[in-house]
Structure 1
């Protein structure tokens, strides 16, 4: 919630008869301004801002012949909000009468080349949120240079850039504020970390899979050796149990050198082909 300093805080003069209140149905948004003094001397303290506001009011009323200081609200670098004409009263700052009827006017107390502070931007967002409560259709946020019929550099390059980045839009977080260079640096960092992680996962999976394949292949070979030896012994015993008597001596099998001994396990034969292709055991680099 914004706490607006009253007109008495800057010792404002009473306004003359002016244009009256804005029409809710006509308002399209808020326009951002700056004083455009051409000076680089900052206006930061409360006393300095109050003095500057009185000077701008004198200029607008005495030199320009306007009814009051031209803007509705001012926001300074410390985040203070100052009541000028007030959000309901039509401004005289945007250009011709048509533009003033369609837009509000918020003054940022900035000097040439000065970047808007986080406090200024936060308060400006809150002021615009209040503005939108009064004028629900007035959602646009535009620099003065975008609406004034005659050319102007108002509200200066830093404020224009902040508008383009959405830094005056209600709901925007200062944590989101990043320069294009910072955004690119963050993008490069994320891409590099993603690639490094993908490579690490690939190496880990390859190493783990190679170990599984080697262990499985060894288990298969051992199983085949044991199974082949046992099957051969059982087959030999069965053959000799049913052999003709002529092949037996005193009831025991004839021990022909070429005849296998059923009680002796034959040497296991290596399979003709490995069940798996050879595995590269070279450590991954």
Structure 2
């Protein structure tokens, strides 16, 4: 909520009658104004603002014949909000009775060529938020030049541009207040960072993928070696399980070991037949007299 300086803060004159309060159902939004003095002398101090408000009230009441200063609320460059007619009282600043019944009126205390300060914009957003709480359908924010039946340059180019950028809209952040050049610079920065990040990610993924491929290839080789060894061992076991018992593991004929004697059987006392004259080579056999070779 905005803290509003009372009318006594600028020593306002009492109003001379007035049009009464706005009708909630008719209000469409708020209109932004400026004094339009044509001067470039800034009005920043509290005393200077109070003096200016008294002067505008005198002009509106004494010269224009209006009931009071025309606006509802004023906001200065320091971010101070000044109560003029008040948000509920119909303004006399928008151009004619119909427009005054459909819109409120907020005065920005700006001089020719002056940019609204961050404090002014922040307080104006607060005033607009308060206005919308009273008039829920009054969401529009328009420059005076957009609603006045007759042409006007109010509220000046800087304020008009701020309205177009949404800088007086409740919820707007000052971080969003960027010139086109700043926006382009930010866009270029984001694009450069995005490309750099994409390149870094690509390189990292290539490194990681290369490491994964190498590790996978090594695992495959180790698996194949282990699998081949295991398969060979299983194949050998299968071969030797079906091999003749007369073969040793290395493939040489096995030597049968003699069977152990049966302790319950009589021993075999028979002897094998022995040849008293074993075969001898012919050249070593003894010669007989009757068999002398003839000459």
Which bracket does the TM-score occupy, shorter chain normalised? 0.7 to 0.9
Give 1:126 deviation, angstroms: 1.6
In structure 2, how many angstroms separate the alpha carbons of the residues matched to 1:52 and 1:244?
128
In structure 2, how many angstroms separate the alpha carbons of the residues matched to 1:37 and 1:6?
24
The equivalent residue for 1:200 is 200
Matched, 1:5 2:14: no
In structure 1, how many angstroms separate the alpha carbons of the residues matched to 2:15 and 2:230?
113
The equivalent residue for 1:109 is 109
**1:224 to 1:80, Cα distance in 2 relative to 1, 3 A:** closer
Q: How does 1:144-159 map to 2 (within 5 A)?
A: 144-159=144-159
In structure 1, how many angstroms separate the alpha carbons of the residues matched to 2:174 and 2:214?
56
Q: How does 1:50-69 map to 2 (within 5 A)?
A: 50-69=50-69
Partner SS for 2:106? strand
Partner SS for 1:146? helix
Per-residue CA deviation, residues 230-269 of structure 1 (Å, 9 max, x unaligned), is: 7668867948955999xx87759xxxxxxxxxxxxxxxxx
Structure 2-normalised TM-score? 0.75
The equivalent residue for 2:179 is 179
**1:213 to 1:155, Cα distance in 2 relative to 1, 3 A:** same
Per-residue CA deviation, residues 109-139 of structure 1 (Å, 9 max, x unaligned), is: 0011111111111211121222222222211
Give 1:227 deviation, angstroms: 5.2
Runs (5+) with no aligned partner, structure 1: 253-285
Give 1:180 deviation, angstroms: 2.9
In structure 2, how many angstroms separate the alpha carbons of the residues matched to 1:133 and 1:235?
90
Matched, 1:163 2:163: yes
**1:41 to 1:228, Cα distance in 2 relative to 1, 3 A:** same
The equivalent residue for 1:141 is 141
**1:199 to 1:176, Cα distance in 2 relative to 1, 3 A:** same
Partner SS for 1:40? coil
Give 1:40 deviation, angstroms: 1.1
**Residue-pair matches, total:** 250
Matched, 1:31 2:31: yes
Partner SS for 1:41? coil
In structure 2, how many angstroms separate the alpha carbons of the residues matched to 1:109 and 1:3?
17
**1:243 to 1:131, Cα distance in 2 relative to 1, 3 A:** same
Give 1:17 deviation, angstroms: 2.6
Per-residue CA deviation, residues 167-187 of structure 1 (Å, 9 max, x unaligned), is: 212222223333333233223
The equivalent residue for 1:42 is 42
**1:201 to 1:66, Cα distance in 2 relative to 1, 3 A:** same
Runs (5+) with no aligned partner, structure 2: 256-295
The equivalent residue for 1:282 is none
Per-residue CA deviation, residues 3-34 of structure 1 (Å, 9 max, x unaligned), is: 22222221222222322222222111110000
State which drifts further: 198-207 or 94-103.
Answer: 198-207
Partner SS for 2:187? helix
**1:147 to 1:251, Cα distance in 2 relative to 1, 3 A:** same
State which drifts further: 120-129 or 174-183.
Answer: 174-183
